A and B are shown apart, each in its own frame.
Chain A
Amino acid sequence: MSGPYPEGMLGRPLRIVLVEDSLLLREGLVRLFDEAGYITAGAFGDAHDIVARVRDAAADVAILDVRLPPSFRDEGIRAALLLRAQVPELGILVLSQYIEGVYARELLAAGDGGVGYLLKDRVTSLEEFTDAVRRVHERGTVLDPLVVQGLLAGRPNPLAALTPRERDVLELMAEGRSNASIAARLFIGVGAVEKNVSAIFAKLGLEESATEHRRVLAVIAYLQRG
């Protein structure tokens, strides 16, 4: 994998707004943004008036926790959906201590890419973190491997026809990775990935989609159907 991508497609450092109620983690994440070369355009402890705050900060990407004041339930998800509707060009990455399939589905359904949902643990790796930020910024989709595992758990039957390699590729596709990224992960060529993808779509009876986000949606929808 290549190194950090501080500049994205804009040719300038990305501006990030962070919403995280724990001061400890907020400080840690801001330090991580610095290390990654991002500009922290705002760091808040709650999602109050989030749309205005994001606009004022001229943010490229918003990173949100799920449990936030006042009720510590799913404020972060609601804020993300609101931002998706009101600030469509914003990339949104939700970080949480736990993963719920329901939230993943809601975020995916909210718009055409540019969303991510990851366990907080994943950001300990600078490389994984910057990769995720870059992908949501570039209208891609980022899903935590746990979401995909949750979808795969307990329903082996429809996937029995896949080879182990195809299954690996399917999981990485569902996480929202591009063919290039999948190829790098599995140490195979991009051509081999494309072949596997075609085989998977043929076996599962899915249509190949134009964008990565649509591809994720198709795969997720298939997995949910059980």
Chain B
Amino acid sequence: MNTMTPTVSAPTAEPMRSAWTAYGHAWARTPGRALYLILAFVLAMTAVSVLAGLFWTGIGLLILIVGLPIVVLSLFVARGFGLAERYLLWLTGLPDIVEPEWNRDENESTGFWSTLTRPLRNGHYWTYLLYGMIVSPVVSTITFALTTLWLSVGLGGLTYWFWASFIPRGDGTGEWGQYVSAALPWLFGGWSSWAVEVVLYLIAGMIFTITLPWVMSGLSRAQHSIARALLGRWPSDDLATEARAEAAARASAVQAESAGLRRLERDIHDGPQQRLVRLQLDLAALERRAEAGDTDAAADLAREARGHAKAALDELRALSSGVAPPLLQDRGLAAALAAVAAGSALPVTVDVDAEVDDVVPPEIARTVYFVVAELLTNAVKHSGASAATIKVALRTGEVPPILDVWVVDNGRGGAHLAPGHGLEGLRDRVAGLRGVLVVDSPLDGPTTIGAHIPLASPSSPATGFGG
């Protein structure tokens, strides 16, 4: 649906002119609104017959289980009619009614009964049913009556002189024009009944026509606000959406983290742990040889044991720098990124806002570090680039402030987010902080990858500047 500009007759410095302009605008909207009011009535009549039929049949059969699916079906049909109503409202040019939250609780069980009865537990379905079955038939009957009254009197009155001449008339007795001219002799003295009728119809037609835009506008607005109250979003929907975004962010963070932890566990198990077991074996053997006085064999074993200890240390060092890069811990993000850039096979320009280290909390700094490091590795491996740029900037104008991280290379481009691709993992990591990863990599390059991360910790939105 398009978002139409709402017609608001706002008072301005030139009241006369703007009043005319507003009136003109209202006229421009009038055909659409009149059409809406008529079609809405048709829709409401259809809806009430279908919905009432379904719903009450369902209720009647509830005692047999088959009633339940029918009630649920009636809710879905009500949703469909509500949607149709919201589409029809487009004709009025009034603001769109925003889609409500149809799945308010995502983490519900997915069992058969739970899935079947889910609409029953969502208030929106019931307000849609209420609207389609009771409110809209009543309201649109009234608005439809007024609409047809205004249209027929307005158009009919203005053209009475034309079409009435085709209607066969009697000799004038018993016609209402006569009574009017008799009742108001000072005004219509000596007028024929025909002339009185034509003039009065004309006046009524003019009055109804002039007021037509206002009436159409008023009726449409009344119906629109009722529809918005019943078919639109509730404030609690935003909370539900927010909670869902939160849950999604948490899910991807948990996913990324648990994958990382699993890998770490495996690496520790395959590496240092095996080394230490072997070291223990060697030391036990060494002890036996030393007790037996076989010094040559003991020295050999000691040398070997030292080799294993050293290898275990090397492996542990590699693992711990994968978990928490020392320089990042010691000196912060700017220094760590500079070191990453210096260690890259590409010439890398680094531009990091000075205040970043003061405001970026450690968990975000860690993610940014790994994302940038991996993007640079990708650039070296896949892009064929000859230079790259890292830029980290703080957008303090936003609430919460946003950390913008860009990695740009002049390579051949064509990077994209594909399932199972490395970028997907990075996107999960960024999403875990409620940020977004934007990939812009046309064929022939350049590749620009941006991570945009809000700096407020999700649990305490008031404190923008953590850690």
Contact = CB atoms under 8 A, between A and B. Distances in A.
B331 A155 contact: no
Contact of B331 (A74, A153, A224): A74
B317 to A, nearest CB: 6
Given A73-B329, A121-B310, A98 B321 contact: yes
A151 B389 CA distance: 20
B345 A155 contact: yes
A100 interface: yes
Interface string B306-335: 100110011001001100001101110001
B345 A154 contact: yes
Interface stretch (B198-206, B336-344, B435-443): B336-344
A189 interface: no
B313 A121 contact: yes
Contacts of A66: 330
B344 A154 contact: yes
Contact of B310 (A73, A124, A155): A124
A153 B314 CA distance: 18
A150 interface: yes
Contacts of B339: 100-102
Majority DSSP secondary structure for residues of A touching B: loop
Given A73-B330, A98-B317, A224 B345 contact: no
B283 to A, nearest CB: 15
Contacts of A73: 329-331
B422 interface: no
A74 B330 contact: yes
Contacts of B343: 101, 150, 153-154
Interface in B395-437: none
A97 B327 CA distance: 12
Contacts of A74: 330-331
Contacts of B347: 226
A101 B342 contact: yes
Interface string A54-88: 00000000000011000001100000000000000
Name the interface size band of chain B. 20 to 34
Contacts of B335: 102
A67 B324 CA distance: 14
Contacts of A101: 339, 342-343
Nearest to A226: B347
Interface in B125-140: none
Contacts of A154: 343-345, 380
A66 B330 CA distance: 10
A153 B339 CA distance: 13
Interface string A153-173: 111000000000000000000
A208 B339 CA distance: 29
18 contacts: A67-B330, A73-B329, A73-B331, A97-B317, A98-B320, A100-B327, A100-B339, A101-B342, A102-B327, A102-B331, A102-B338, A121-B310, A121-B313, A124-B306, A124-B309, A154-B343, A154-B345, A224-B342
Contacts of A150: 343
Contacts of B317: 97-98
Contacts of B320: 98
Contacts of A226: 347
Interface string A131-155: 0000000000000000000100111
Contacts of A155: 345
Contacts of B313: 121
A139 B342 CA distance: 28
Nearest to A150: B343
Contacts of A121: 310, 313-314
Given A100-B330, A101-B342, A102-B327, 9 more contacts: A67-B330, A74-B330, A98-B320, A98-B326, A102-B339, A121-B310, A121-B314, A124-B309, A224-B342
A145 to B, nearest CB: 12
A150 B345 CA distance: 11
A92 to B, nearest CB: 18
Contacts of A124: 306, 309-310
Nearest to B335: A102
Interface string B353-368: 0000000000000000
Contacts of B321: 98
B218 to A, nearest CB: 69
Contacts of B380: 154
Contacts of B327: 100, 102
A78 B313 CA distance: 25
A100 B342 CA distance: 11
A155 B335 CA distance: 21
Contacts of A102: 327, 331, 335, 338-339
Nearest to A76: B330
What 5 A-B pairs are tightest by C-beta distance, nearest first?
A154-B345, A73-B330, A74-B330, A98-B326, A100-B327
Nearest to A105: B342
Contacts of A67: 330
B348 to A, nearest CB: 10
A150 B380 CA distance: 17
A97 B329 CA distance: 14
Interface in B366-400: 380
